Amino acid sequence: MRNRNLYILTAVVVLLSLALSACSQSSNQTVRIATDATWPPFEYVDEDSKEIIGFDIDLINAIAADQGIEIEIVPVEWDALLAGVSQCQYDAAISAITITAERAETMLFSDPYINAGQIVAITADNTAIQGPADLAGMVVGAQIGTTGAIEIENIDGAELKTYDTVDLAYLDLINGQIDAVVADYPTAVSFVGQSNGQLITVGEVFTDESYGVAVCNENAELLDQINAGLNAVMSEGLIPELEAEWLAVSE
């Protein structure tokens, strides 16, 4: 009896360690892609399936398939995401990331894949704010560390209020806690569209920004693969397809 138990125990241990080594082997080859899944329609958690979905997720999957790379989507808070890529805690990140000169000092960027500038959102009953020029003297929300937050800081007299996630900024806006929110246009349209008419966007898109895939500085080879895959899927017309699928949200 003792022997038999010992035999079973040994078998279990052997199987477990085999399973473990299989895991660690595959994770050695798997490219870890960070995303902050709070930014519809680019990356967000689907209410029903609880899966991370969106434009960026479809795009990176298509790039990976084209290049034959195995990827794992790693959910990371935005505030930690760019630093994480800079420190190569993740191989790359796709997260509606605007390519900026400052960020490019600490990470690599793929070729741009879409344009998305900033837009102001307010409550539908607000007549005082028509665009960024009216934000002086106002409390304006944005997700911390985003280009939207940086733009608000650059507006004389506007007071920036930062949030860990942008949904909380729109919630505060609806609740009258702040006067406006600045965020990327497609994301603003998405939240305005979900607000049952309580929110509107005003004025023009007032910055010129392009998104790129961010890659850890030490991985120029991965950057080449991502650019090759991006070029391939772009020449097959994937971007307009994804735009039609994900960005055609009516206000």
Is the Cβ of residue 126 or residue 213 nearer to ligand ARG in the bound state? 213
Q: Which stretch binds ligand ARG (CB under 6 A): 16-24, 94-102, 156-164, 195-203?
A: 94-102
Site map (CB under 6 A) of ligand ARG, residues 73-92, x = contact:
-----x--------------
Footprint of ligand ARG on 107-126 (CB under 6 A):
none
CB 106 → ligand ARG: shortest distance, Å? Answer: 14
Is the Cβ of residue 98 or residue 110 nearer to ligand ARG in the bound state? 98
Is the Cβ of residue 126 or residue 142 nearer to ligand ARG in the bound state? 142
Give yes or no for residue 39 binding ligand ARG (CB under 6 A).
yes
What angle (nearest 5°) sits at the alpha carbon of residue 169, between those of residues 92 and 116? 50
Give yes or no for residue 55 binding ligand ARG (CB under 6 A).
no
Is the Cβ of residue 71 or residue 126 nearer to ligand ARG in the bound state? 71
Give yes or no for residue 207 binding ligand ARG (CB under 6 A).
no
Q: Which stretch binds ligand ARG (CB under 6 A): 35-43, 58-66, 191-199, 226-234?
A: 35-43
- DSSP per position, the chain: -HHHHHHHHHHHHHHHHHHHHHHHHHHHHSEEEEE--EETTTEEE-TTT--EESHHHHHHHHHHHHHT--EEEEE--HHHHHHHHHTTSSSEE-SSPBP-HHHHTTSEE----EE--EEEEEETT--S--SGGG-TT-EEEEETTSHHHHHHHTSTTPEEEEESSHHHHHHHHHTTSSSEEEEEHHHHHHHHHTTTTSEEEES------EE--EE-TT-HHHHHHHHHHHHHHHHTTHHHHHIIIII----
Of 54, 57, 66, 95, which one interacts with ligand ARG (CB under 6 A)?
95
Give yes or no for residue 190 binding ligand ARG (CB under 6 A).
no
Q: Could you list the residues that contact ligand ARG (CB under 6 A)? A: 36, 38-39, 43, 78, 95-98, 143, 146-147, 184
